[in-house]
Amino acid sequence: MLSRKQPEHVLIVDDDDRIRQMLSRYFEDEGYGVSVAGDGQAMRSCLSRGGIDIVLLDIVLPDSDGFALARDLRKESDIPIIMLTGRNDVIDRIVGLELGADDYIAKPFHLRELLARVKVALRRRSPVASRQIEGRNHEVFCFEGWRLDTARRELLSPAREEIRLTTGEFEMLCVFVKHAGRVMGRELLMDLTRGRNLEAFDRTIDAQVARLRRKIEDDPAHPSLIKSVRGVGYVFSARPERQ
């Protein structure tokens, strides 16, 4: 007898009871498992029990700063994070993305749009979907002692330590590696990573690159792998070899 796949589980973190109830009903009707939390302490309690696949995280909470919660969660896990906020502020978006959030949506939002963003974030994290996106071949790239396995979504340092990347960071690195030596404009990077449908904009690309540099560059302030091209974008200067 075939076992039924468990529904993907959404954790909704918002101090507004009406929003929690609205989102909870909506995602349950769409077939998702749902947990809710009204503050940072309740969020940590839900996460400690495991089984959470994605977090919808409000920026303003009564006992915590949503940005700090996102930063702490990203240190421990690669669970997708979508930030929710009542302010449509570019700076807020950049800060959230720099801290490791996968996406950002301002209130009020359309429920179907939020659902679409959740599906994209979960699909990117799925190993099966990743293999389909990468193609049938199991691709492994080596550069400057680093080893990138696209099917396993694994990055090993020259010291053979696994480096944890967020979904956005991993996809950005894959794009750079597969287009090594080519100057990549921000618009092209947006199209190949986040996509126009997610309202990507130039400075989110810069934030993503800055985070990636901090993880793979010996000196992020003077990068040798991902170099800036003034007025254009970036170029991956290493010469990856397929294995």
pLDDT string in tens for the chain (243-residue length): 444 467 899 999 999 999 999 999 999 999 999 999 999 999 999 999 989 999 999 988 998 888 889 988 888 888 899 989 876 666 666 777 777 788 888 888 899 999 998 998 888 766 544 444 444 456 899 999 999 998 888 899 999 999 988 777 888 999 999 999 999 888 888 777 754 444 444 467 888 899 899 999 999 999 999 999 988 899 999 999 988
Domain end among 125, 148, 170: 125
Q: How many domains in the chain?
A: 2
Residues 98 and 162 in one domain: no
Residues 94 and 139 in one domain: no
Residues 93 and 141 in one domain: no
d(CA 206, CA 194) in angstroms, rounded, equals 13
Are 202 and 193 contacting, i.e. CB atoms less than 8 angstroms apart? no
54 beta partners = 10
Q: Residue 152 is part of which domain span?
A: 129-242
State the amino acid at position 112 in one-letter form: R
- Kindly report the CATH number assigned to the domain that includes residue 228: 1.10.10.10
pLDDT of residue 71: 86
Residues 16 and 91 in one domain: yes
Residues 172 and 71 in one domain: no
d(CA 193, CA 101) in angstroms, rounded, equals 14
Q: Where are the beta strands (DSSP E) in the chain?
A: 9-13, 33-37, 54-58, 81-85, 103-106, 140-143, 146-149, 154-156, 183-185, 226-229, 233-236, 241-242
**3 occurs within a structural domain:** no
Residues 139 and 97 in one domain: no
- What's the pTM? 0.59
**92 occurs within a structural domain:** yes
